[in-house]
Amino acid sequence: METACERLTLSLRSAHRLLKVARTLADLEQVDAITRSHLAEALQYRPSTN
């Protein structure tokens, strides 16, 4: 998570929002822990910066 935030230069607000989306994805799968795949999927939902 830290590496992704640094590499993508995410603000704290963006990182928190990313975690909230990843938590929702984990909840939909009825899993207790957030995995890398949840974080990766949450990153895909971010709007394009182009």
Pair 10, 4: CB distance under 8 Å: yes
Length of the chain: 50
Percent of the chain with pLDDT over 90: 68
At 17-41, the pLDDT tens digits run 999 999 999 999 999 999 999 999 9
Question: pTM (2 decimals)?
Answer: 0.84
Instruction: Give the single-character DSSP code of 8.
Output: T
CB within 8 A of 40, min separation 6: which ones?
Answer: none
What is the model's pLDDT at position 50? Answer: 61
Mean pLDDT of the chain: 91
Q: How confident is the model at residue 46 (pLDDT cuts 50, 70, 90)?
A: confident
What is the model's pLDDT at position 25? Answer: 98
